[in-house]
Structure formats: C-alpha cells, structure tokens
C-alpha cells in the first residue's frame, strides 16, 4: 500500500504540514466517515481487522479469530458484523463457518490519516 509522505515541521520553521483536505467536508461524507471510524473505535474490532488483514489472502475464518481475542463466537461475529456494515469486510459462508475478507481500498483513508498523524 503506497504511503503519502508529508513534510515534517521543524521547530524553527514557519512552514506547516500539508492539509489532509483542501476544503470542508460535506455533511453526507462526514456521516459516512463517522460511521466507519466508529466501527473501528473499538480495540477488539481494530484487532480483528488487523488479524484479517494479516491473514493469507487478507481473509480469515471466524473460527480462527475467536481464541486470539478471547471472546465467544457470537461476540466475535457481532464485531465482524459491525465491520461488515461499515464496509471494511465481506463475508462468505463455507460449510458451517463464515470467512471474512478485507474489502480492497477501504483502509486506505484510515492509513492516510494515521500516517499524517504519525508524521507530526
């Protein structure tokens, strides 16, 4: 995933960092982004996204996610459902198990925001 480099602000420099956006965000877009960020604003869901992303093919069976997070299968499935509704994951059923896959490109905005924060 390509990263965008932002200039580092030197203490003696009058130059500020590059803004993330050049204009105010529209209300509909703000609502959409807030829903996505709210879905990720939970430590368990952040861990689940990172585990799915780190899995082979960016896909993982719910059965492989239960033990690492230390929660019951229904609770893990609930968290995964929230991530699906936010657009971060898709689900396919194979036999009795559900497999979750990262939606390509959905984490790009989050990555850009985190990279920008880390560069400051």
Residue 103 scores a pLDDT above 70: yes
The answer as to whether 37 is a domain residue is yes
Which of 81-85, 93-97, 115-119 comes out lowest in average pLDDT?
Answer: 115-119
What radius of gyration, in Å, describes the C-alpha atoms of the chain? 17
Rank 3-12, 25-34, 63-72, 102-111 by mean pLDDT and report only the highest: 63-72
Q: Answer left, alpha or beta for residue 91, where phi above 0 means left and psi between -120 and 50 means alpha.
A: beta
Instruction: State the DSSP string of 52-91.
Output: HHHSGGGEEEHHHHHHHHT--HHHHHHHHHHHHHTTSEEE
Q: Does any domain span residue 14?
A: no
Counted domains in the chain: 1
Q: Are 120 and 15 in contact (CB under 8 A)?
A: no
Distance of CA 80 to the CA centre of its chain: 12
Distance CA 114, CA 16 (A): 18
- The CATH number for 47's domain is 1.10.10.10
Confidence of residue 17 (pLDDT cuts 50, 70, 90): very low
In this predicted model, what pLDDT tens digit does every residue of 44-88 receive, in sequence order? Answer: 999 999 999 999 988 999 999 999 999 999 999 999 999 999 999
Residue 12 sits at the vertex; the CA angle it makes with 9 and 16, to the nearest 5 degrees, is: 35
Enclosing domain of residue 66: 27-119
Is 7 contained in some domain? no
């Amino acid at each position: 995933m390509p990263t965008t480099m932002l200039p580092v602000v030197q203490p003696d420099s009058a130059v500020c960092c590059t803004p993330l956006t050049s204009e105010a965000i529209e209300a509909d877009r703000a609502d959409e982004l807030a829903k996505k960020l709210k879905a990720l604003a939970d430590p368990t869901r952040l861990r689940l996204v990172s585990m799915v992303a780190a899995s082979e093919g960016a896909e993982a069976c719910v059965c492989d996610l239960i033990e690492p997070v230390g929660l019951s299968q229904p609770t893990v499935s609930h968290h995964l459902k929230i991530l699906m509704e936010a657009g971060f994951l898709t689900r396919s059923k194979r036999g009795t198990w559900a497999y979750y896959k990262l939606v390509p490109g959905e984490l790009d905005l989050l990555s850009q925001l985190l990279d920008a924060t880390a560069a400051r």
